[in-house]
Structure 1
């Protein structure tokens, strides 16, 4: 396969302890995505032998708020030792601060020039931090229609504009196609246009945020377009298993994910 596949251990095999989820994902040949790593047994996670593609890269402040942007950089710096211990390649950040359940801590429904400039400067600072430690910060797009109302500059076209303006090799996009489908659509064109700035791609079907084949997105066609574009990075399944929380349902979801992207690669090579 021309790209690597990962699965988010926070959303699949939910009935298992985190270390067991990571081990099961790893044993099936996938890399692993994590969210908040604080208060977790990092040594036990590392001992699974899994390859970790991404984790949350901050835990306070807002990228676009002049009064709290320093907290984003400070919290990011505190997470870098964990990233290095796990060998994590990308630390994920968002346009503004998210609370429990992904709710905006301070909902704002209009973007301003000051927000944009603050976000740009904060990304440049994170790029310098990442360069010093050999990690990449990946800005994730979000949908504000369903899951994250009140987050400014969250659309993929906004995050692409910020990342491209930051113009730093240690700042990239975490292009989430689930969020993009809800907020923008036109996924194949989006992937092609964003390709130079993509650090990782995340996927889930719509509606329901489950594995490919459970909703409206034709992921085999999307996978073919990604392969045709020459992308060779990570594609991560950030989705729940449509069959529920049991191990069998998780196994089935991962198989469907692999099959959809394998079929896309095969179509690209023919």
Structure 2
């Protein structure tokens, strides 16, 4: 069996006893692309020196989608993030419904955005997409769950992020479709990936409960992998999960879950 996807691993969550650059080297040596979060926390030159291929990073530092000042701040720090992404060769810059603190909680909680705030969010994302077009990069809007990890984040469900991405309708704004968060918030994952289809910029995974690697919880990730392959998805699948035990073994389980038998693969 082989994987039709590019497989990536979040360096923030595995090999956690090592410095970040050593984590990146370990992930790269095992044949995976690498995801990072807040670039301001890292020595970028040290990450470049690893020679690893990076998949995504957080594409802003502060700001939000709905407040006028917050929107301007989001654009300003997104612009700051682009040169860092270029230096690392990162193709996708990740966004959330609002800025998150160190615990993943919203800097400004907004659990029930109004109609006017939905419109403001779409307009902010139009500005982000225009920035992406001008700079030749893709921003991706991630869905989150609000019942376990990120209470109070607005525009959190996959149906919310999809609605905003489709409203903007730009190749420079796509979904970071996180199936861990979607399972907690919505479920019905195979129909969800089919519904999101062309809007997907990247897929992220972890099992539920526990947010560890595939095979540790309730999600049948081999079935999800077949559904993605059958619909023609050939992009990146990123493991954004903690290791339930040994990190290298967790990465092996991830690769196994997203290796798909030949008969399931449609022609490219």
TM-score under structure 2 length normalisation: 0.96
Q: What is the RMSD of the two structures over their aligned residues, measured on CA atoms?
A: 1.2
- 8 Å CA contact 1:172–1:198 kept in 2: the answer is yes
Q: Counterpart in 1 of 2:182?
A: 180
Deviations 1:211-234 (A, max 9, x none): 000000000000000100100100
Q: Counterpart in 1 of 2:248?
A: 251
* Equivalent of residue 257 in structure 2, options 255, 260, 270: 260
SS at match of 2:213: coil
Give the Cα separation in 2 of the matches to 1:119 and 1:87.
28
Q: Counterpart in 2 of 1:25?
A: 27
Q: Counterpart in 2 of 1:2?
A: 4
Long gaps (5+) in structure 1: 244-248
Q: Counterpart in 1 of 2:116?
A: 114
Give the Cα separation in 2 of the matches to 1:166 and 1:174.
15
Give the Cα separation in 1 of the matches to 2:14 and 2:41.
20
Q: Counterpart in 1 of 2:198?
A: 196
Give the Cα separation in 2 of the matches to 1:23 and 1:267.
34
Q: Counterpart in 2 of 1:91?
A: 93
Deviation at 1:165, TM superposition (A): 0.6
SS at match of 1:100: coil
State yes or no: 1:100 paired with 2:102. yes
Give the Cα separation in 1 of the matches to 2:155 and 2:39.
26
Say how many residue pairs are matched: 264
- 8 Å CA contact 1:224–1:267 kept in 2: the answer is no
- 8 Å CA contact 1:227–1:265 kept in 2: the answer is no
- 8 Å CA contact 1:2–1:265 kept in 2: the answer is no
Give the Cα separation in 2 of the matches to 1:133 and 1:221.
37
Q: Counterpart in 2 of 1:131?
A: 133
Q: Counterpart in 1 of 2:48?
A: 46
Deviations 1:48-94 (A, max 9, x none): 11111100011111112234111000010011110000010000000
- 8 Å CA contact 1:6–1:236 kept in 2: the answer is yes
| Distance of aligned partners of 1:146 and 1:39 in 2 relative to their CA distance in 1, 3 Å threshold | closer
Give the Cα separation in 2 of the matches to 1:72 and 1:192.
30
| Distance of aligned partners of 1:266 and 1:164 in 2 relative to their CA distance in 1, 3 Å threshold | same
Give the Cα separation in 2 of the matches to 1:171 and 1:75.
16
Deviates more, 1:157-166 or 1:57-66: 57-66
Q: Counterpart in 1 of 2:67?
A: 65
Deviates more, 1:145-154 or 1:4-13: 145-154
Deviation at 1:114, TM superposition (A): 1.5
Long gaps (5+) in structure 2: none
Give the Cα separation in 1 of the matches to 2:120 and 2:75.
12
SS at match of 1:32: strand
